[in-house]
Amino acid sequence: MAEVIYFLNKDTLIIKPPKKSPLVYRMIVLAFSMFCGVYICSICLKQINRHAKPNLVNIQITEEPGELHGTKQSDRTSIHYPKPETFSRAECADNPVRYFVIISTQRSGSGWFETLLNSHPNVSSNGEIFSIMDRRKNVSSILQTLDQVYNLDWFSSASKNECSAAVGFKWMLNQGVMDHHIEIGQYFTHWRVSVIFLFRRNLLRRKVSVLANSYDRYAKLLNGTHKSHVHSPQEAVTLSRYKPTINSSSLINDFKEMESAVFKVLTYYNSTRHIVLYYEDLMKNWAKLNEVQEFLDLPTKDLTSRQIKIHSGPLSDHIKNWNDVLKTLDGTSYERFIHAD
Ligand SMILES: *[C@@H]1O[C@H](CO)[C@@H](O)[C@H](O)[C@H]1NC(C)=O
Ligand SMILES: *[C@@H]1O[C@H](CO)[C@@H](O)[C@H](O)[C@H]1NC(C)=O
Ligand SMILES: *[C@@H]1O[C@H](CO)[C@@H](O)[C@H](O)[C@H]1NC(C)=O
Ligand SMILES: *[C@@H]1O[C@H](CO)[C@@H](O)[C@H](O)[C@H]1NC(C)=O
Ligand SMILES: *[C@@H]1O[C@H](CO)[C@@H](O)[C@H](O)[C@H]1NC(C)=O
C-alpha cells in the first residue's frame, strides 16, 4: 500500500501543471485510484487462484513435465499399488507404480524409444499389445486388456514384474485408440494414466520407412528374416539398399491425413496428463529422456538402446523417384521435409 501511495504522489507531482483546473487534477487522481484498485484486485485474485490450485487439479492438464511436481497432492493421485493376481510384488509391494501409455504412429521411433525406456530397471513397457485384433475388437476387450496390463498381470519380455515403478505399452493411432477415445479417455482419467505422445515431424522420412518396412515383410532382406529394427550398421545398410517408389499423386493427401489424425488424437486426450515428444528432438538431444523419466517420476538413469537408424543420410539416396517427389513438394508447406532429418 505504501508503495502505491508513493507512486501516486510522485506522479501527481510530475504531472501537476500550474494552470490545470482543480477538476482536471481531481480526475487524474480518480483515474489513478481506479487503476490502482483494479491492479490490487487482480493481484489478490491471482493469489487466491494459486492457493486454490492443489485442490482443483485432480486431473492433470499439462504438457510440461516441470509443472507436475509443484503439488504433492496431485502426485499422490497418480500413483498406484497394484496387487497382481499372478505373482506377489514381494519386497516392492510398497513401491508406488505409475501407469503410462505411448501413443504413436508406425515408423516414428517408438520401437527405439521403448527399448530406451525398458533399459530402466523400473520400467515395463510391454510393446504394441493392440496389434492383435482380438484385443481391440470392442471397448470391453480393450478395457479388460488395460486392466491386465496396469495390474502388472501382463507378461512380455519387457515386464520387470515386482519392482516396476512405471508400467505401460505403446499404442498406434490405427489400433482403436482413436475409435474408442471417449471410453478410453474416461479410463485414463479415472486411473490417472500418463500419456506420452511420440510423433515424427518429417512425414516424408516416415513414409520411406513405412514403405521399406512393408517391402521387407515380404522380401526378408536379412538372411530371410523380416526385421523392423536393426542392431548393426551392416544390417541398416542392407535394409536401406531397397529404395521405395513413392506415389506422388497421393503424397500430399497422405501428409494431410496424417497431420489431421495427430491433431485429432491430441484433442481427444488433451485433458489427460500428457507430454508431447518428437522423434527428431529425441535423436538430437538425449537429455529429453530425463524429462520423460521426470514425467514418470522415475529415478533418473542413463538409458540405452542397441537399435540403429536404418535410413540415415540424405533422403535423395533413399527414394527411387526422387525428382518426382521433389516436383510434387516444391512450393508446398511440405517442402521442409526434403532437406530436414
Ligand atoms: C467383445 O469381444 C470379446 C472378444 O472377442 C467378446 O468375447 C465379447 O463378447 C465382445 N463384447 C461385446 C460387448 O461385444
Ligand atoms: C527399482 O527396482 C529395484 C530392483 O530392481 C528396486 O530395488 C527399487 O526399489 C525399484 N525402485 C522403485 C522406485 O520402484
Ligand atoms: C547372414 O548369414 C551369414 C552366415 O550365417 C552371416 O555371416 C551374415 O552376417 C548374415 N547377414 C546378416 C545381414 O544378418
Ligand atoms: C497413387 O495414388 C493415386 C491417388 O490416390 C491412386 O489413384 C493410384 O492408384 C496410386 N498408384 C499406385 C501405384 O498405388
Ligand atoms: C489442448 O489444451 C490446451 C490448453 O487448454 C490448448 O492450448 C491446446 O491448444 C489444446 N490442444 C489441442 C490439440 O486441442
Per DSSP, the residues of 266-322 read: HHHTTTS-EEEEEHHHHHH-TTHHHHHHHHTTPPP-------B-SS-S-GGGT-TTH
Closest ligand 3 atom, residue 221 Cα = 13
User: How many angstroms separate the alpha carbon of residue 141 from the centre of ligand 1?
Assistant: 6
Give the mutation target among 223, 227, 232 for probing the ligand 3 site: most ligand atoms within 8 A of CB.
Answer: 223
- Give residue 241's pLDDT: 86
User: How many angstroms separate the alpha carbon of residue 62 from the centre of ligand 5?
Assistant: 9
Q: Is the CB of 299 under 6 A from ligand 2?
A: yes
Higher pLDDT: 2 or 331? It is: 331
| H helix runs in the chain, sequence order | 2-15, 22-56, 65-68, 72-77, 110-118, 139-150, 181-190, 203-219, 233-240, 248-268, 279-284, 288-295, 322-329, 336-339
Higher pLDDT: 262 or 21? It is: 262
Q: Does domain 75-339 have CATH number 3.40.50?
A: yes
Lowest mean per-residue pLDDT among 48-52, 216-220, 250-254: 48-52
The ranges assigned to domains in the chain are: 2-56, 75-339
Q: Is the CB of 332 under 6 A from ligand 4?
A: no
Q: What number is the average pLDDT over the span 42-55? A: 40
**How far is it, in rounded angstroms, from Cα 50 to Cα 151?**
35
**How far is it, in rounded angstroms, from Cα 62 to Cα 295?**
11
Residue 153, helix vs strand vs coil: coil
Q: What number is the average pLDDT over the span 74-102? A: 80
Q: Is the CB of 266 under 6 A from ligand 5?
A: yes
Closest ligand 3 atom, residue 222 Cα = 13
Q: Which ligand is nearest to the CA of 227?
A: 3
Evaluate the CA torsion angle 322, 281, 118, 100 in order and state its sign: negative
User: How many angstroms separate the alpha carbon of residue 270 from the centre of ligand 5?
Assistant: 6
Nearest residue by C-alpha to atom 3 in ligand 5:
270
Closest ligand 3 atom, residue 235 Cα = 13
Q: What number is the average pLDDT over the span 303-307? A: 87
Q: Is the CB of 276 under 6 A from ligand 5?
A: no
User: How many angstroms separate the alpha carbon of residue 243 from the centre of ligand 4?
Assistant: 18
pLDDT tens figures, 179-226: 999 999 999 999 999 999 999 999 999 999 999 888 888 888 888 888
* Average model confidence (pLDDT) across the chain: 80
Of 142, 201, 135, nearest in space to 339 by CA: 201
- Give residue 75's pLDDT: 54
* Per-residue pLDDT at 7 exceeds 70: no
Share of the chain above pLDDT 90, in %: 50
Of 119, 184, 189, nearest in space to 157 by CA: 119
Q: Which residues of 232-269 are buried (b: 16+ CB within 10 A; e: fewer)?
A: eeebbebbbeebbebeeeebeebbeebeeebeebbebb
pTM: 0.77
* Per-residue pLDDT at 16 exceeds 60: no
- Give residue 95's pLDDT: 84
Strands 194-199 and 98-104 turn out to be parallel
Whether 212 contacts 239, CB under 8 Å = yes
- Give residue 65's pLDDT: 37
- Give residue 76's pLDDT: 60
Q: What number is the average pLDDT over the span 243-272? A: 95
Residues in contact with 152: Cβ distance below 8 Å, sequence separation at least 6, in sequence order: 82, 84, 87, 89, 97, 124, 159, 161, 164, 167
Nearest residue by C-alpha to atom 7 in ligand 2:
163
Whether 273 contacts 89, CB under 8 Å = no
Helix axes 248-268, 203-219, angle to 10 degrees: 110
* Per-residue pLDDT at 12 exceeds 50: no
**How far is it, in rounded angstroms, from Cα 135 to Cα 140?**
9
**How far is it, in rounded angstroms, from Cα 138 to Cα 200?**
28
Q: What number is the average pLDDT over the span 18-28? A: 56
User: How many angstroms separate the alpha carbon of residue 229 from the centre of ligand 4?
Assistant: 28
User: How many angstroms separate the alpha carbon of residue 247 from the centre of ligand 4?
Assistant: 6
pLDDT bracket for residue 313 (50, 70, 90): confident
Q: What number is the average pLDDT over the span 267-279? A: 95
